[in-house]
């Protein structure tokens, strides 16, 4: 089963990221030579490993760190209390650094203070602490993506599908009213990512001059099951008016597709042996995350597209950063603004 994953933002021009990568790899090379005998101990604290995105992310981090860092992973099972306990007991082992994916980002201030007290540098990831919390400890960093970027990219995927011209929508505007009739599957109500993605999606349409009619926003709590359950009534209510389904994540999108198939959507109407946009009962559904299942669904022709949260690039950036932080001569403390490392989302659709 696919669980919700909570992402942080995306965006930012990547020229700076490349410069940083060069600087970091130089530092990493230096560190690798001098620290050969015993790789420095680094804790990897995950909010919940049952989240497939996090599990894969963790594996990528461990893979990247092989040889350079001795990574010990902890699964907090979605409990900040357990994570607090795990971190505190791990600190007694005098780690060189920790990579921390907080369960509750608001708790980060307490963890940051504790890490500062212990003098252990920290790389936050996946869930972004408040800026004032990152300010507490000069050797704390955040590696992540900007959530609004995923919403923007999702909108861009949709715009391309509708012809790229706000004034003249293509045949995807089924009723030809010049507006896109949209269903939104939202993650958790009040969840920052859900809010930011939804908001960025709608704002991007607005900014590009597209007229959008939101038929409904349904909260499906990031879950496949809830996406499956909640799309049914919506599809019945709004029937043939729906021109696009935008989901805050892949899991809900895949759940929705599973249900829509049962309701008569996604049939091989033109009998060409494959499922694609040419079939009349096909409906464009967009996800975010770039899960493997989502990519498979795209290849099979069901899911139209997703926005890939580039965890591999993040994992690389995190490991390089950690290696530089634990080097015998660590980098000088940077101002707060330079302690954010943004990794871009990548749009992913059938053509890819």
Q: In the complex, which residues of this chain contact another protein (CB under 8 A)?
A: 80-81, 84-85, 88, 103-104, 106-107, 109-111, 113-114, 117, 130, 188-190, 192, 195, 217, 219
Shortest Å, Cβ 201 to another protein: 15
Describe the crossing of helices 250-262 and 224-238 by its angle, rounded to 10 degrees. 50
Shortest Å, Cβ 22 to another protein: 34
> 27 or 145, CB closer to another protein?
145
Q: Is 104 exposed, middle or buried (0-12, 13-18, 19+ CB in 10 A)?
A: middle
> 50 or 106, CB closer to another protein?
106
CB atoms inside a 10 Å sphere around CB 114: 17
CB atoms inside a 10 Å sphere around CB 240: 10
Shortest Å, Cβ 119 to another protein: 14
- Do 233 and 242 form a contact (C-beta atoms < 8 A)? no
Shortest Å, Cβ 346 to another protein: 25
Shortest Å, Cβ 199 to another protein: 9
> 14 or 78, CB closer to another protein?
78
Tokens found for residue 273: 């042996």
Angle formed at CA 60 by CA 56 and CA 64, multiple of 5 degrees:
170
> 84 or 140, CB closer to another protein?
84
Cβ-proximal residues to 89 (8 Å cutoff; 6+ apart), any chain: none
> 189 or 333, CB closer to another protein?
189
Nearest to 128 by CA among 290, 285, 295, 6: 6
């Amino acid at each position: 089963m696919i669980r919700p994953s909570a992402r942080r933002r995306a965006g930012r021009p990547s020229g700076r990221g490349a410069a940083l990568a060069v600087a970091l790899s130089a530092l990493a090379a230096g560190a690798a030579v001098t620290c050969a005998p015993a790789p420095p101990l680094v804790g990897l604290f995950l909010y919940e490993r049952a989240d497939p995105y996090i599990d894969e992310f963790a594996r990528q981090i461990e893979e990247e760190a092989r040889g350079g860092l001795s990574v010990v992973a902890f699964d907090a099972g979605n409990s900040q209390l357990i994570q607090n306990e795990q971190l505190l007991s791990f600190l007694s082992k005098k780690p060189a650094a920790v990579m921390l994916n907080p369960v509750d980002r608001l708790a980060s201030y307490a963890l940051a203070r504790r890490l500062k007290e212990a003098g252990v540098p920290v790389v936050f990831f996946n869930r972004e602490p408040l800026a004032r919390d990152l300010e507490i400890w000069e050797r704390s960093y955040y590696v992540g993506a900007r959530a609004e970027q995923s919403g923007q990219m999702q909108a861009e995927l949709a715009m391309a599908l509708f012809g790229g011209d706000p004034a003249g929508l293509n045949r995807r505007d089924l009723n030809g009213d010049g507006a896109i009739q949209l269903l939104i599957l939202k993650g958790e109500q009040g969840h920052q990512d859900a809010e930011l993605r939804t908001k960025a999606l709608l704002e991007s349409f607005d900014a590009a001059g597209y007229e959008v009619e939101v038929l409904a926003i349904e909260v499906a709590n990031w879950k496949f099951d809830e996406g499956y359950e909640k799309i049914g009534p919506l599809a019945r209510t709004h029937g043939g008016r729906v021109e696009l389904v935008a989901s805050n994540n892949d899991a809900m999108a895949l759940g929705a597709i599973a249900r829509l198939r049962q309701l008569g959507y996604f049939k091989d109407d033109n009998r060409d042996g494959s499922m694609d946009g040419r079939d009349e009962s096909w409906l464009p559904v967009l996800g975010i995350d770039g899960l493997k299942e989502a990519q498979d669904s795209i290849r099979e022709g069901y899911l139209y597209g997703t926005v890939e949260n580039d965890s591999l690039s993040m994992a690389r950036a995190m490991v390089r950063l950690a290696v530089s932080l634990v080097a015998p001569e660590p980098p000088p403390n940077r101002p707060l603004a330079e302690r954010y490392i943004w990794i871009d989302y990548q749009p992913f659709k059938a053509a890819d």
